[in-house]
Structure formats: structure tokens, C-alpha cells
């Protein structure tokens, strides 16, 4: 941030939203924060992350079973079996396998907030910058509940739903929202 002029406007999606939130809790140079669908499970609308999930994922990666690791993750996030079978046949699958090791980072980052429990009220009290917390109108209930809960615990957050959007957010839907938020 120093190299880029001393401050930053930060936007994160999914586990990137959780990462951006953690960065904002530690880096005062972040002036504004926009978060889209951090995968926080805050109630019983989705099953909590199993206690052995991270260790099983690490084991798959350590034993170079990258394809199995990606499948393991995709099933957890709700990709239907039919789509998973199709993905195996597409060129994107080799790309997903090549970055399979990063799934461990994602789960490490979010596991504490995927337990089906309310977010700790003071956890991000230091994140006082203006924050946009958003979700998609077609996203699963558990994800929308997580984002509403996050907006409620952040001191300076505004909650917004992007109608018609899912976790696979379309750039043309989010770009105007981000421009407006970061501009003011």
C-alpha cells in the first residue's frame, strides 16, 4: 500500500472477502472496504464445517490427490454432482487442479466462521472504515444470513443485496455498485 500511494480501497469476494476483512482489521491504510459473500455460516441454515474437513483437505493435497481435493471442496460448497461431472471434462478442470493447494488457505481463513454460530460481536470492532457488505439476491439463504450478520457486527457497514446475482457474481452487476461506493 505504501508503494501504491499510502492507502487502498479494497474489494474481496468469497474467501477473498474474509481475507480483505482480516487485512482491514490490521492495516489502517485501508480507507474503504467492499465485501461480497464471505462464506460465513452463522446459523442452522447450512451444515457447519465438519471438524476434520481441513485435515482431510490437507491430506488430499499432501498425497498429490489434487483432483480429489477439488471435488471434495466443490461438494462442500454445493456444486451439484451433475455439474461436477461436466467440470471434469472441461479445460477449467486442469486449472482448478493446479491451484488445489490454495483451497487449504481458503478453509484455514474461514473455518472459524463456518461453525453455525453467531459472529463474535467484537471480532472486527477495529474495522471502522466505511464498509459495503453485499450478497446476491439468488444466493443461498445461509450465505445471505452470514452477510446480514457481518453487516450487523461491523461498526460502519452498509448491507446491500444485488438482485438477480448469485455467488458467481457478474462483473457488469457489481462494477457500478463498487464505483459508486468507492467514489463517495
Q: What domains appear along the chain, each with residue ranges and CATH number? A: 8-46+117-183 (3.40.50.1820), 53-110 (no CATH)
Cell digits of residue 33: 472496504
Bridge partner list, 11: 34
In contact, 38 and 18? CB cutoff 8 Å: yes
Element housing 173 (H / E): helix 171-183
DSSP 87: H
How far apart are alpha carbons 3 and 18 in whole angstroms? Answer: 24
In contact, 104 and 132? CB cutoff 8 Å: no
Element housing 85 (H / E): helix 81-88
C-beta neighbour count of 86 within 10 angstroms: 12
Of 12, 72, 70, 17, nearest in space to 39 by CA:
17
How far apart are alpha carbons 31 and 182 in whole angstroms? Answer: 9
Instruction: Give the per-residue pLDDT at 1.
Output: 82
How far apart are alpha carbons 83 and 80 in whole angstroms? Answer: 5
pLDDT along the chain (184 residues), means of 10: 88 97 95 97 96 97 97 92 92 95 96 96 94 97 97 97 96 97 94
Instruction: Give the per-residue pLDDT at 2.
Output: 82
Instruction: Give the per-residue pLDDT at 184.
Output: 86
* Three-class SS state of 31: strand
In contact, 21 and 12? CB cutoff 8 Å: yes
In contact, 182 and 9? CB cutoff 8 Å: yes
Instruction: Give the per-residue pLDDT at 4.
Output: 78
Amino acid at each position: 500500500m505504501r508503494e501504491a500511494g499510502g492507502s487502498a480501497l479494497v474489494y474481496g469476494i468469497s474467501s477473498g472477502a474474509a481475507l480483505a476483512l482480516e487485512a482491514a482489521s490490521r492495516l489502517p491504510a485501508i480507507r474503504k472496504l467492499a465485501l461480497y459473500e464471505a462464506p460465513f455460516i452463522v446459523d442452522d441454515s447450512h451444515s457447519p464445517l465438519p471438524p476434520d474437513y481441513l485435515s482431510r483437505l490437507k491430506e488430499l493435497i499432501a498425497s498429490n490427490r489434487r483432483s480429489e481435493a477439488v471435488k471434495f471442496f466443490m461438494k462442500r460448497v454445493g456444486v451439484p454432482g451433475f455439474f461436477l461431472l461436466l467440470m471434469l471434462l472441461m479445460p477449467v478442470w486442469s486449472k482448478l487442479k493446479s491451484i488445489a493447494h490454495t483451497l487449504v488457505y481458503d478453509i484455514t481463513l474461514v473455518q472459524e466462521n463456518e461453525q453455525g454460530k453467531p459472529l463474535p460481536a467484537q471480532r472486527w470492532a477495529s474495522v471502522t472504515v466505511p464498509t459495503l457488505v453485499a450478497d446476491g439476491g439468488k444466493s443461498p439463504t445461509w450465505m445471505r444470513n452470514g452477510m446480514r450478520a457481518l453487516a450487523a457486527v461491523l461498526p460502519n457497514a452498509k448491507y446491500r443485496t444485488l438482485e438477480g446475482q448469485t455467488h458467481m457474481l457478474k462483473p457488469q452487476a457489481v462494477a457500478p455498485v463498487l464505483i459508486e461506493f468507492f467514489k463517495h
